[in-house]
Structure 1
Amino acid sequence: MFENLRGRALRASVAVSAGSAYLLFGYDQGVLGGLVSQPSFLGAIGNPSPTYLGTIVALYDIGCLVGCIIAAAWGNHFGRCRSIFWASIIMVIGATIQTTTYGAVQLIIGRLISGVGNGINTSTVPMYVSEISRTESRGRSLAVQMSLVIFGTVIAYWLDYGMVRNLSGEVVWRFPIAFQIFFALITISTILFLPESPRWLFAHDRREESTRAVSRLLGCDESDERVQKITCDMEEALMLERRQPKLDFRSLLKSKSQIKPARRLVLCFLIQFFQQWTGINVIAFYVTIVLESNVGLSKETSSLVAGIVQICFWCGTLPVIFLLDRLGRRIMLLSGSVALFLSMTLFTFGIAIDTTASAKLALAMLFCYEFSFGMSWNAIPWLYAPEITPLNLRHIGSALCALSEWLWTFVIAQMAPTAIANTGWKIWLLFDIMLLISFFFVFFFLPETSGKTLEEIDYIYVKPEVRYQLDEVSTSADHELSKSRSRVLVEDNSSAQT
């Protein structure tokens, strides 16, 4: 069915398959949050203490960490499509174990297994989407996928809400947990019929298949100038990367390679670090607690408002689809840090004063915060990591980015309930400070990647004289256009060397 698809139809099929994996990502994150207070659910797992229950929920993140490590170690061997396929199979197994749960240990095992699959997927899917997208729409493609993540969270929240309010018994929690299998099955049934990443194929010396995949994705003949240009770019970037000393985990941090791989991997880790320390997951996981404890709403009102907050968050992910490739990554992140800092500061001010009027201010700022995060820090870190890393380390960079996400998600999920209960409004000052630091991190350390092919981004980090040496040893006439463009890129981005 998919073999004859070309051009826009093929790219749409890829978007559906990858998008289903992203819906599963968001849905799986949110589905258990609305069920942990249900008597039938708690009874099935032995009525654990709040601390034990929190650990059960958070262990999902540990599974995701393991999945990221697996993706970093073996993802490049299996390829993008096969990694996504097996990750989705793993998630089906984990979801089945959770759905049939009759004890805390069984639920923990299911959560850990699902986490492993999701860790592999979150390490691989952004990389796959980035590598097969056209340069001019790469940001839009990833922004659409990350919008689906939040939409998956919205589906999970409102499905839980509807089941809890209208039904009773074990179906209230077993059906929402089982429903995640639906998204995984869509990806499983489609991903192996879609083209493998042309860049992965090219790096593994399967160049004819790579050229064929590029021509299918662009919807043109293999002899087309656009296909030849992309092939030349991949050849040149691969040549540059292979001229550098061979790297392994032991020597990576000591590497003096001209393309600065260690620096780029550190950026992959740090950009997700700053994303998590904006405070988004404290609000996402514990929004009802925040609304009750900090804003002063009733439990029923808090549940309803929390659902509206999730919808506001998703609405914030829509404008970035149209703005990211036009405005660039840096300006979206910088403006996002400013908007989030102002929103968080006024939110903190509102709950600290603790009056009726200030509570309304805090609630309004919560909506502004969610919308601003959706427009900026939600999608860009997931896009930036596969963009900023060289081809031979892209699987590691993407996995490191996802690992950072799940590591700090686990830390924040563990500390947040206690922090909210014991410090009140003061905990939000920590996120204010981190948002301020994030602005300077982006300003001084993150170069712009918008409008550049993945191969051209290598030259941001290469000194001009080294780039010229590479040009001199390349005698192919097909590279002349690429050389001219690369020299311009080096000159334009020479400030990124510091």
Structure 2
Amino acid sequence: MAVLSVASLYYSRILIRYLEARAFKRMQFTKMPALYVRASIATGAVMMLWGLDTGSIGPITAMSTFTESFGEFSATVHGAIVSTLLITGTISALLAGMLADQLGRIAMISTGAAVFGVGAAIECGAVHLAMFIAGRAIKGLGTGLFVSTVAVQVCEITPAKTRGFWVAFSQFMLTVGLALGYFMCYGTGRIAGSSASWRVPLAIESILGFGFAATTLLVPPSPRWLMAKGRVEKARLVVSQLGISQEEQQEMLAQKGQVTVHSPKLSMLQNIQETFKDFRKAFSGPYRSRTAFGCLLLIFQQTSGIDGVLYYAPLMFRQAGMASEEATFLASGVSALLIMVVTIPATIFADKWGRRTSTLVGGIGITIIMFLIGSMYAADLVHPDGGAGRWVVIISIYMFAIVFNMTWAICMKAFLVESLPRETRSSGAALGQCSNWLANFVVALTTPPFLAASSYGPYFFFGGCTLLSVIFCAIWMTETKNQSLEAIEAAYLQRRLEKTGGKSQWSVNVNEQTTDTSENSSVISPRRERENWLGAAAAAGHVHPARALAS
């Protein structure tokens, strides 16, 4: 833990120096970093909770004291225990977009962290397996609320030149939690003959969950969300305090009310109904292709096998020939530490490498590694009693984790949020996270029995899925680095206009009202949305004003 603390402090110093020297060299810095820097750190730190759970659940369920507490269980039950969090997380992620638009990004992140803390406390105090699973289910509800919302909040308060950096920072904090989770279990696993060996890590998770819930409330709300709610003066005040350039301030305040905002008078059932209307909107008209691509992108993340490796690293290392519980935990901890270390340069250079380049290069690397591991097992070159084969597999597992976390872990989530229009950003991000977790659930549930049935099958499967993902992204993925969200939106509109010969695909009735005046909605009409899109494109220089008016 001391090593992790020193590494985190050192990283923070590098982070601030980098920002001062490069991204903000034309701005005057006071003794305190800019508000958006502090806000992004506080927001991104919440992702440590998810890393803690991912890093600890595999070692916890592999501890002998855990099976002494709850009895032996099959590989299928093992997968079900681990994946329970993902089922409830998927459900809450579906509602996270609506709730984030209604109550604010900060409220959702704080609430999610607190619910996570409650779930971890129930796990910690579990006296039978059903109670432990219930705790994981509650923890999943909290995780689903904050995971996708963190990315949206960070994207909406940071300038374009460093947006990728700050989205990557939240991924770095996830890896810090991952390493901390593994090494906590490595340390507490030495508590012989006591259930404290698996309860202590969960108690720490609970305390941190409540702590992050409190600190997140100090973060300012997203000015883009405030503008969508019609709180223009508050938005201007927040923007003026963020510490960004005048040009970036104007971009944040340029467009009003393009988020669907439901009336506070609606009941919970009506709000849920409105939420599914938002989802239908995300898959309608000009939004459909981007929402679908974003969902597929996050499914690709999971079909690479990353969470199969992270959740079941002790099992994989044991299969490769590491016999003792202590050795497998240490090997898992080393992989998490490597992930954390390589995320530092990946975070710093996120806005230089680009989203598309990182996706393609990382995908090719992952494909090669997975096929190599599968081939070693298929050729019967991996033997528990020794030989070079097992070390090739162990090193390849490390390399897979390194390559994934330097590329796919960072660029895909950043691209998802950047590519979505403001109107569907929250609902689209929620749908993307939901897709990610559904795929994650399948991977987490099936990996133990898959490994038990075939030592090489899972690796060939993950490698094949990754290869298909690379081909897909090479054809359809665009580059969004160093562009404001408004410029990205205008560029998408420009491509749509070129594709349709200068005619937008909006279906607008001549006599249509510009807004829905019903009591229960303030939804912007298609005609108003079309005007906003064209205005943004013309203002950003992506569409000539005359062409915008003509279309």
Give the TM interval when normalised to the shorter protein: 0.7 to 0.9
How far apart, in 1, do the equivalents of 2:182 and 2:403 lie?
Answer: 20
Partner of residue 406 from structure 1, selected from 437, 451, 457: 437
Deviation per residue, 1:49-95 (Å, 9 max, x gap): 55334322221111211210221343211110111111122112212
Shift of 1:108: 1.8
- Show the 5 A alignment for 1:168-187: 168-187=193-212
How far apart, in 2, do the equivalents of 1:486 and 1:139 lie?
Answer: 22
1:351–1:359 contact (8 Å) kept in structure 2: no
Deviation per residue, 1:231-251 (Å, 9 max, x gap): 22x34x949xxxxxx993585
**Equivalence for 1:308:** 334
2:50–2:143 contact (8 Å) kept in structure 1: yes
**Equivalence for 1:448:** 479
How far apart, in 1, do the equivalents of 2:531 and 2:402 lie?
Answer: 50
Verify: 1:392 aligned to 2:423, yes or no. yes
**Alpha carbons of structure 1 residues 427 and 52: separation in structure 2 relative to 1, 3 Å:** closer
Question: Which stretch shifts more, 64-73 or 323-332?
Answer: 64-73
- Show the 5 A alignment for 1:49-128: 49-128=74-153
How far apart, in 1, do the equivalents of 2:448 and 2:37 lie?
Answer: 41
Verify: 1:276 aligned to 2:306, yes or no. no
How far apart, in 1, do the equivalents of 2:74 and 2:454 lie?
Answer: 22
2:54–2:310 contact (8 Å) kept in structure 1: no
**Equivalence for 1:341:** 367
Shift of 1:47: 5.0
1:58–1:413 contact (8 Å) kept in structure 2: yes
Deviation per residue, 1:253-296 (Å, 9 max, x gap): 7733xxx2111111121011111111112211222222232x33
How far apart, in 1, do the equivalents of 2:531 and 2:97 lie?
Answer: 33
Verify: 1:365 aligned to 2:365, yes or no. no
Verify: 1:382 aligned to 2:413, yes or no. yes
2:47–2:170 contact (8 Å) kept in structure 1: yes
How far apart, in 1, do the equivalents of 2:143 and 2:455 lie?
Answer: 33
2:120–2:202 contact (8 Å) kept in structure 1: yes
Counterpart of 2:249, as a letter, is V
**Equivalence for 1:495:** none
**Equivalence for 1:428:** 459
**Alpha carbons of structure 1 residues 394 and 43: separation in structure 2 relative to 1, 3 Å:** same
Shift of 1:347: 2.2
How far apart, in 2, do the equivalents of 1:316 and 1:309 lie?
Answer: 11
**Alpha carbons of structure 1 residues 263 and 292: separation in structure 2 relative to 1, 3 Å:** same
**Alpha carbons of structure 1 residues 169 and 35: separation in structure 2 relative to 1, 3 Å:** same
2:282–2:291 contact (8 Å) kept in structure 1: no
**Alpha carbons of structure 1 residues 94 and 169: separation in structure 2 relative to 1, 3 Å:** same
**Equivalence for 1:459:** 490
**Equivalence for 2:181:** 156
How far apart, in 2, do the equivalents of 1:123 and 1:166 lie?
Answer: 36
How far apart, in 2, do the equivalents of 1:484 and 1:20 lie?
Answer: 33
How far apart, in 1, do the equivalents of 2:71 and 2:80 lie?
Answer: 14
Partner of residue 224 from structure 2, selected from 199, 202, 219: 199
Shift of 1:17: 2.1
**Alpha carbons of structure 1 residues 325 and 250: separation in structure 2 relative to 1, 3 Å:** closer
How far apart, in 2, do the equivalents of 1:368 and 1:28 lie?
Answer: 22
**Equivalence for 1:255:** 284
How far apart, in 2, do the equivalents of 1:13 and 1:327 lie?
Answer: 24
Structure with the larger helix share: 1
**Alpha carbons of structure 1 residues 140 and 423: separation in structure 2 relative to 1, 3 Å:** same
Counterpart of 2:125, as a letter, is T
SS of residue in 1 equivalent to 2:153: helix
Verify: 1:13 aligned to 2:38, yes or no. yes
**Alpha carbons of structure 1 residues 66 and 215: separation in structure 2 relative to 1, 3 Å:** same
**Alpha carbons of structure 1 residues 364 and 178: separation in structure 2 relative to 1, 3 Å:** same
Verify: 1:323 aligned to 2:349, yes or no. yes
Counterpart of 1:19, as a letter, is G
Shift of 1:27: 0.3
**Equivalence for 2:171:** 146
1:247–1:255 contact (8 Å) kept in structure 2: no
SS of residue in 1 equivalent to 2:179: helix
Question: Which stretch shifts more, 29-38 or 195-204?
Answer: 29-38
Counterpart of 2:491, as a letter, is I
2:79–2:446 contact (8 Å) kept in structure 1: no
Shift of 1:139: 0.4
**Equivalence for 1:243:** none
SS of residue in 1 equivalent to 2:132: helix
SS of residue in 2 equivalent to 1:457: helix
1:7–1:216 contact (8 Å) kept in structure 2: no
**Alpha carbons of structure 1 residues 367 and 74: separation in structure 2 relative to 1, 3 Å:** same
How far apart, in 1, do the equivalents of 2:443 and 2:110 lie?
Answer: 30
Shift of 1:160: 0.4
Partner of residue 214 from structure 1, selected from 239, 264, 285: 239
How far apart, in 2, do the equivalents of 1:155 and 1:254 lie?
Answer: 39
How far apart, in 2, do the equivalents of 1:441 and 1:486 lie?
Answer: 26
Verify: 1:228 aligned to 2:250, yes or no. yes
TM-score normalized by the length of structure 2? 0.78
**Alpha carbons of structure 1 residues 169 and 255: separation in structure 2 relative to 1, 3 Å:** closer
TM-score normalized by the length of structure 1? 0.86
How far apart, in 2, do the equivalents of 1:265 and 1:473 lie?
Answer: 21
2:227–2:235 contact (8 Å) kept in structure 1: yes
1:46–1:103 contact (8 Å) kept in structure 2: no
**Equivalence for 2:52:** 27
**Alpha carbons of structure 1 residues 133 and 168: separation in structure 2 relative to 1, 3 Å:** farther
Deviation per residue, 1:326-356 (Å, 9 max, x gap): 1210001111011111222222222333332
**Equivalence for 1:439:** 470
**Equivalence for 2:155:** 130
Structure 1 segments of 4+ aligned residues over 6 angstroms from their partners: 479-482
Shift of 1:226: 4.2
Counterpart of 2:305, as a letter, is G
1:7–1:219 contact (8 Å) kept in structure 2: no
How far apart, in 2, do the equivalents of 1:180 and 1:328 lie?
Answer: 34
